[in-house]
């Protein structure tokens, strides 16, 4: 199972050793940003344009720690693949530098970088068997035959594909091809593995299975993984940290929980999880909270995340599952009357679309355990939420 | 219910067994499909299968002597071939020749006999004329007196072989063999033994042209497949423009360029690089050059279309796995182009085997290929037997190569695009 017994993932979230001395320690689960001084991968001031007119990547600064699982998440066309390709050496940054293990890899050709890579369509060599595909990076490195055999077998066992070793990629299912691609990217024991939407072509069940499998392999080998996806669920499941990309810019870089609980701007709030957006204007700032006037609805108490001054437009972000139906009067600062417009039954939960304050796209998620029988289209009721659950973000 | 469904015969709603209903539907569908391909089928049968079948037949079938000299060939069935035949055969010969003279078929008989024994044509004709004036026998001495050829055993052997409407003569001649005086198979004398050389030459030129188109076409196809769309479209246009120009025009263009006082020689001499014109045309060089030019797109296009379908991520993957640019190309990219190379080369090779117009226009006498001889036999000498035999051998060799190729490479591996 263990491809590289010599290199264990740093335990308990330790920072990588620099010169044998731990640089900093912090509690598990806390941000790894604290040890970015010694980043394993460091993008600084990266810009990229293909046509000389539009910037596909705009001033990217990103530090990735050794052993980290970092995901670049963003809609299609946001520059994720381009960023990955610059790290792999297939695209040249228009400006800025990339450091790998402290060394600039500016002019280094891809084959000297020792970076494993899993491509979206797997890029398995169709004219070679599974075994030959896996032996390819080892042959290039001029390893001896017995050594190659041992390593190929170990890698195949790791992805549970031992019996298929003599087949061609075309004779394998999508999931098996995916495993081969993964094994091939790992078999030469790179310290850094890049994956560009590796699970994009798989069905949902297989995808979820593979997510866990990749996660376990990462944990066992202690490799650094830079993972690209446009699927937020996948990013939340697997990552240590997520960099949310949009339009060539990192919108927010944080742990999955942080990203979901505390989105820093409307894009992130909208992209990660479901979200009610309420546009309004700040009319009062009082410390960590603020009062926002929503036209047609009234005033809302909200957490002031990034609103600078009174009078500015703002977007309130409210998660549907944080909304309470018919709260006890006086228990919540924000209570509004609402009318049920639509009820969608989803098994474990029920989505209720309501009209609140003249808008009818207000969504509430109710757990199926809460006795939702009384919620029927046309029913009038009140909805309420806490000020902390409603985040006032700068309108973009 | 479940057991009922499996044991009882399933019937559709109107009570007809399901199997019959299905058959009816299928039959209608098949008939319609057949109707659609019927015109093509007829066309292929009339324009392709029948002429080729006829050609293969003509390569071994020749009843000239059997039809035009029926008495002689019948009389010779008892001849043992050791000495000259007896009086009855000579009487039959005189009768046949008289008949031939009056029917004006003596020329054809002479020509047919001349194929196998050169020089006898005029003797046969004059014999027929003289025989028509013979009144009564004995004929043996009279005929030998008319022409000494009737005293030669090989002439009688030839007539005896004429008893059968089928002959291996044309095929034998195409492989540089012929019949000896006792109808035994012997090697052709040097002046007739030209065909093995011609076949080998055809093979050699075809291989050379195929190799040249591959060497030139592969890098070009790679360029086309990897360049940005706008540039590659432009290049493709350039290639296709020459592809769309008629073969005749392109071949004559080479004549203009390469002849002694053509563009290239004049330029080289004006620059004092040459003192007298180089022989660039009407030789093997000119033939291969012009054929390569014409065949280039045939080799290139299948390679190009296969290259187009190779994902660039394969080479990238190889690079990320540690392979240098050349190693990645050689081990990952090149093997995937093999189906295209096989298709392109096979296409060019087979087309080259049948080349006619280009060697005729830009080749010398030593560059004539099999098709040129087929053309000469059909158009000038009207020797259909030889034309058919050469054609049949060429066709058989091509099919043979095709099947060997299929065994080695596998046609399912070939991709035209
Ligand atoms: N090779 C290229 N040439 C020109 N434009 C490109 C190229 N690759 C990507 N782009 C453009 O760059 C932008 C970002 O693409 P990409 O990095 O692939 O995004 P993502 O992977 O996030 O979907 C897109 O607008 C895309 O059209
Ligand atoms: Mg992408």
Domains of chain A: 41-262 (3.40.50.300), 274-394 (2.40.50.100)
Residue A24 confidence (pLDDT): 37
B121-131 and B106-116 helices, crossing angle to 10°: 150
- Answer whether residue A197 shows pLDDT above 80: yes
- Residue B7 in any domain: the answer is no
Tell me the helix, strand and coil percentages in chain B, rounded to 5: 75, 0, 25
Rounded to 5 degrees, what are φ and ψ at A226? Answer: -110, 120
Q: Which of A46, A49, A57, A77 to mutate to test the pocket of ligand 1 (most atoms within 8 A of CB)?
A: A77
- Residue B58 in any domain: the answer is no
Residue B94 confidence (pLDDT): 93
Q: Do B331 and A136 touch (CB under 8 A)?
A: yes
- Answer whether residue A36 shows pLDDT above 70: no
Average pLDDT over residues A298-319: 90
For residue B243, the enclosing domain spans 195-416
The answer to whether A50 faces chain B, any CB pair under 8 Å, is no
Task: Please tell me whether residues B384 and B259 are part of one structural domain.
Answer: yes
Checking B221-224 for CB contacts under 8 A at 24+ apart, the result is B221/B300, B221/B303, B221/B304, B221/B307, B221/B340, B222/B307, B224/B300, B224/B304, B224/B307
**pLDDT class of A106 with cuts at 50, 70, 90:** confident
User: Can you tell me the distance from the alpha carbon of A278 to that of A273, in angstroms, rounded to the nearest whole number?
Assistant: 16
What's the CA-to-centroid distance between A47 and ligand 1, angstroms? 13
B106-116 and B87-103 helices, crossing angle to 10°: 120
- Residue B3 in any domain: the answer is no
Q: Do A110 and B320 touch (CB under 8 A)?
A: yes
Cα–chain-centroid distance for residue A175? 21
- Residue B246 in any domain: the answer is yes
Q: Map residue B387 onto helix, strand or coil.
A: helix
Cα A260 to Cα A229, A235, A236, A389: the distances in Å are 17, 11, 9, 11
Q: Do B317 and A90 touch (CB under 8 A)?
A: no
User: Can you tell me the distance from the alpha carbon of A273 to that of A256, in angstroms, rounded to the nearest whole number?
Assistant: 11
Average pLDDT over residues A367-394: 85
Average pLDDT over residues A72-93: 94
Residue A16 confidence (pLDDT): 41
Task: Please tell me whether residues B215 and B278 are part of one structural domain.
Answer: yes
User: Can you tell me the distance from the alpha carbon of A16 to that of B125, in angstroms, rounded to the nearest whole number?
Assistant: 108
The answer to whether B314 faces chain A, any CB pair under 8 Å, is yes
Task: Please tell me whether residues B179 and B229 are part of one structural domain.
Answer: no
User: Can you tell me the distance from the alpha carbon of A56 to that of A80, in angstroms, rounded to the nearest whole number?
Assistant: 9
Q: Do B323 and A136 touch (CB under 8 A)?
A: yes
Q: Is A81 within 8 Å of A138 (Cβ atoms)?
A: no
Task: Please tell me whether residues B201 and B328 are part of one structural domain.
Answer: yes
- Answer whether residue A32 shows pLDDT above 60: no
**Site of tokens 């055969």:** B89
Task: Please tell me whether residues B150 and B210 are part of one structural domain.
Answer: no
The minimal CB distance from A111 to the residues B311, B322, B331 is found for: B322
Average pLDDT over residues B358-364: 91
Task: Please tell me whether residues B169 and B199 are part of one structural domain.
Answer: no
- The residues facing A242 across adjacent strands are A71, A254
pLDDT tens for A240-250 read: 999 999 999 99
What's the CA-to-centroid distance between A173 and ligand 2, angstroms? 23
A246 Cβ inside 6 Å of ligand 1 = no
Residues of A in contact with B324 (CB under 8 A): 109, 111
β-strand pairing of A192-196 with A115-118: parallel
Residue B168 confidence (pLDDT): 94
**Site of tokens 């990103």:** A62
* Å between B230 CA and nearest CA of chain A: 14
* ipTM score: 0.80
- Residue B331 in any domain: the answer is yes
If one compares B136 and B187, the residue with the highest pLDDT of the two is B187
Q: Is A241 within 8 Å of A68 (Cβ atoms)?
A: yes
Give buried/exposed letters for A98-110 (b at 16+ CB in 10 A, else e): bbbbeeebeeeeb
Q: Which of A50, A60, A91, A235 to mutate to test the pocket of ligand 1 (most atoms within 8 A of CB)?
A: A50
Residue A28 confidence (pLDDT): 40
Nearest atom within ligand 1 for CA of residue A57: 14
Q: Whose CA is nearest to atom 7 of ligand 1?
A: A50
Residue B388 confidence (pLDDT): 95
- Answer whether residue A233 shows pLDDT above 70: yes
Residue B345 confidence (pLDDT): 93
Query: Which among B203, B178, B170 has a CA at the least distance from the CA of B377?
Result: B170
The answer to whether B335 faces chain A, any CB pair under 8 Å, is yes
> What's the number of domains chain B is made of?
3
Rounded to 5 degrees, what are φ and ψ at B100? Answer: -65, -40
A248 Cβ inside 6 Å of ligand 1 = no
* Per-residue tokens: B34: 């057949």
Task: Please tell me whether residues B175 and B294 are part of one structural domain.
Answer: no
Q: Do B313 and A88 touch (CB under 8 A)?
A: no
Q: Whose CA is nearest to atom 1 of ligand 1?
A: A50
Mean pLDDT, chain A, integer: 87
**pLDDT class of A40 with cuts at 50, 70, 90:** very high
Residue A183 C-beta-side C-alpha neighbours within 13 Å: 29
Share of chain B above pLDDT 90, in %: 72
Lowest mean pLDDT among A78-82, B58-62, B75-79: B75-79
What's the CA-to-centroid distance between B3 and ligand 1, angstroms? 60
What's the CA-to-centroid distance between A155 and ligand 1, angstroms? 32
User: Can you tell me the distance from the alpha carbon of A370 to that of B311, in angstroms, rounded to the nearest whole number?
Assistant: 52
Domain end (from B157, B187, B217):
B187
Residue B245 confidence (pLDDT): 87
Average pLDDT over residues B173-180: 94
For residue B316, give the CATH number of its domain. 1.10.3720.10
**pLDDT class of B135 with cuts at 50, 70, 90:** confident
If one compares B272 and A31, the residue with the highest pLDDT of the two is B272
- Residue B412 in any domain: the answer is yes
Q: Do A88 and B320 touch (CB under 8 A)?
A: yes
**pLDDT class of A360 with cuts at 50, 70, 90:** confident
User: Can you tell me the distance from the alpha carbon of A24 to that of A8, in angstroms, rounded to the nearest whole number?
Assistant: 18
The answer to whether B311 faces chain A, any CB pair under 8 Å, is yes
- Answer whether residue B198 shows pLDDT above 80: yes
* Å between A361 CA and nearest CA of chain B: 43
Share of chain A above pLDDT 90, in %: 68
Task: Please tell me whether residues B108 and B204 are part of one structural domain.
Answer: no
User: Can you tell me the distance from the alpha carbon of B350 to that of A339, in angstroms, rounded to the nearest whole number?
Assistant: 79
Q: Whose CA is nearest to atom 5 of ligand 1?
A: A50
In sequence order, which residues have a C-beta less than 8 Å from that of residue A281 and are 6 or more positions away?
A292, A293, A311, A312, A313, A314
A79 Cβ inside 6 Å of ligand 1 = yes
Average pLDDT over residues B345-356: 93
- Answer whether residue A56 shows pLDDT above 60: yes
- Residue B2 in any domain: the answer is no
Residue B299 confidence (pLDDT): 95
- Answer whether residue B336 shows pLDDT above 70: yes
Query: Which among A68, A25, A16, A85 has a CA at the least distance from the CA of A253?
Result: A68
**pLDDT class of A225 with cuts at 50, 70, 90:** very high
**pLDDT class of A12 with cuts at 50, 70, 90:** very low
Task: Please tell me whether residues B306 and B400 are part of one structural domain.
Answer: yes
> A with B: how many residue pairs have Cβ under 8 Å apart?
68
Task: Please tell me whether residues B172 and B281 are part of one structural domain.
Answer: no
Average pLDDT over residues A249-277: 92
Task: Please tell me whether residues B180 and B248 are part of one structural domain.
Answer: no
- Residue B57 in any domain: the answer is no
Average pLDDT over residues A263-273: 91
Domain end (from B187, B206, B229):
B187
Task: Please tell me whether residues B281 and B394 are part of one structural domain.
Answer: yes
**pLDDT class of B232 with cuts at 50, 70, 90:** very high
Domain end (from B51, B79, B96):
B51
β-strand pairing of A224-229 with A298-304: unpaired
Q: Do B318 and A188 touch (CB under 8 A)?
A: no
Nearest atom within ligand 1 for CA of residue A245: 22
B 336-395: CB under 8 A from A: 336
Q: Do A119 and B324 touch (CB under 8 A)?
A: no
Average pLDDT over residues B304-330: 94
The answer to whether A111 faces chain B, any CB pair under 8 Å, is yes
Residue B5 confidence (pLDDT): 46
Lowest mean pLDDT among B111-125, B127-141, B318-332: B127-141
A74 Cβ inside 6 Å of ligand 1 = yes
**pLDDT class of B51 with cuts at 50, 70, 90:** very high
Q: Whose CA is nearest to atom 9 of ligand 1?
A: A82
**pLDDT class of B14 with cuts at 50, 70, 90:** low
End-to-end CA distance of chain B: 52
**pLDDT class of B8 with cuts at 50, 70, 90:** low
Residues of A in contact with B319 (CB under 8 A): 89-90, 109-111
Rounded to 5 degrees, what are φ and ψ at B75? Answer: -65, -30
Residue A353 host element (H or E): strand A349-356
Residue A112 confidence (pLDDT): 93
Q: Map residue B367 onto helix, strand or coil.
A: helix
Residues of B in contact with A129 (CB under 8 A): none
Mean pLDDT, chain B, integer: 90
Average pLDDT over residues B68-94: 91
Residues of A in contact with B410 (CB under 8 A): none
């Amino acid at each position: 199972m263990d491809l590289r017994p010599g290199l264990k993932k740093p335990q308990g979230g330790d920072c990588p050793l620099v010169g044998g001395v731990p640089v900093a320690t912090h509690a598990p689960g806390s941000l790894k940003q604290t040890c970015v001084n010694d980043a394993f991968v460091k993008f600084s001031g990266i810009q990229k344009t293909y046509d000389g007119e539009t910037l596909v990547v705009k001033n990217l600064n990103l530090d990735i720690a050794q052993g980290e699982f970092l995901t670049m998440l963003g809609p299609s066309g946001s520059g994720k693949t381009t960023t990955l390709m610059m790290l792999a050496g297939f695209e040249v940054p228009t400006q800025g530098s990339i450091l790998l293990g402290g060394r600039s890899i500016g002019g280094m050709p891809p084959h000297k970088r020792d970076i494993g890579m899993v491509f979206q369509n797997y890029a398995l060599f169709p004219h070679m068997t599974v075994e030959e595909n896996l032996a390819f990076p080892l042959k290039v490195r001029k390893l001896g035959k017995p050594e190659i055999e041992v390593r190929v077998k170990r890698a195949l066992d790791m992805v549970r594909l031992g019996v298929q070793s003599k087949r061609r990629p075309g004779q394998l299912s999508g999931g098996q091809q995916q495993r081969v691609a993964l094994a091939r990217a790992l078999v030469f024991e790179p310290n850094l593995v890049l994956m560009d939407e590796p699970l994009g072509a798989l069905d949902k069940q297989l995808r979820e299975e593979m997510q866990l499998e990749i996660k376990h392999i990462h944990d066992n080998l202690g490799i650094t993984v830079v993972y690209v996806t446009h699927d937020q669920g996948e990013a939340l499941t697997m990552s240590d940290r997520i960099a949310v990309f949009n339009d060539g810019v990192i919108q927010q870089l944080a742990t999955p929980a942080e990203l979901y609980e505390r989105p820093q701007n409307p894009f992130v709030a909208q992209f990660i999880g479901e979200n009610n957006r309420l546009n309004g204007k700040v009319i009062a700032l009082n410390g960590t909270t603020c009062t926002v006037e929503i036209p047609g609805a009234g005033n809302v108490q909200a957490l002031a995340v990034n609103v600078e001054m009174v009078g500015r437009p703002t977007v309130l972000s409210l998660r549907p599952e944080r909304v309470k139906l018919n709260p006890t009067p006086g228990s919540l600062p924000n209570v509004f009357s609402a009318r049920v417009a639509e009820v969608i039954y989803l098994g474990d939960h029920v989505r209720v679309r309501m009209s609140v304050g003249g808008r009818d796209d207000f969504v509430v998620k109710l757990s199926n355990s809460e006795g939702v029988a009384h919620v029927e289209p046309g029913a009038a009721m009140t909805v309420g939420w806490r000020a902390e659950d409603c985040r006032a973000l700068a309108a973009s | 219910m479940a057991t009922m469904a499996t044991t009882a015969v399933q019937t559709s709603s109107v009570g007809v067994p399901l199997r019959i209903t299905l058959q009816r539907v299928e039959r209608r569908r098949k008939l319609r499909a057949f109707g659609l391909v019927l015109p093509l089928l007829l066309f292929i049968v009339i324009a392709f299968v029948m002429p080729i079948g006829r050609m293969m037949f003509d390569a071994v079938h020749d009843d000239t002597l059997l039809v035009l000299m029926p008495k002689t060939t019948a009389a010779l069935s008892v001849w043992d071939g050791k000495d000259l035949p007896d009086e009855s055969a000579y009487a039959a010969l005189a009768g046949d020749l008289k008949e031939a003279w009056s029917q004006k078929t003596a020329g054809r008989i002479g020509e047919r006999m001349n194929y196998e024994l050169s020089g006898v044509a005029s003797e046969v004709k004059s014999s027929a004329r003289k025989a028509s004036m013979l009144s009564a026998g004995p004929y043996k001495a009279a005929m030998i007196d008319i022409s000494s050829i009737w005293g030669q055993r090989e002439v009688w052997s030839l007539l005896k072989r004429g008893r059968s409407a089928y002959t291996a003569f044309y095929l034998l001649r195409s492989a540089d063999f012929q019949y000896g005086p006792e109808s035994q198979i012997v090697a052709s004398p040097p002046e007739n033994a030209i065909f093995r050389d011609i076949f080998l030459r055809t093979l050699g030129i075809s291989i050379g042209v195929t190799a040249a188109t591959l060497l030139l076409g592969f890098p070009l196809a790679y360029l086309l497949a990897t360049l940005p769309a706008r540039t590659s479209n432009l290049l493709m246009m350039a290639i296709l423009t020459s592809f769309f120009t008629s073969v005749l025009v392109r071949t004559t263009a080479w004549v203009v360029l390469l002849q002694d006082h053509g563009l290239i020689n004049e330029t080289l001499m004006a620059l004092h690089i040459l003192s007298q014109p180089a022989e660039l045309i009407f030789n093997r060089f000119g033939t291969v050059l012009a054929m390569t030019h014409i065949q280039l797109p045939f080799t290139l296009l299948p390679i190009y279309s296969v290259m187009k379908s190779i994902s660039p991520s394969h080479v990238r993957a190889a690079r990320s796995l540690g392979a240098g640019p050349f190693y990645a190309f050689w081990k990952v990219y090149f093997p995937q182009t093999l189906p295209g190379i096989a298709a392109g080369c096979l296409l060019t090779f087979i087309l080259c085997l049948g080349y006619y117009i280009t060697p005729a226009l830009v080749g010398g006498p030593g560059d004539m290929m099999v098709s040129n001889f087929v053309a000469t036999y059909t158009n000038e000498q009207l020797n259909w037997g030889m034309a058919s035999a050469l054609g049949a051998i060429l066709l058989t060799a091509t099919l043979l190569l095709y099947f060997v190729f299929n065994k080695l490479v596998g046609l399912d591996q070939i991709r035209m695009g």
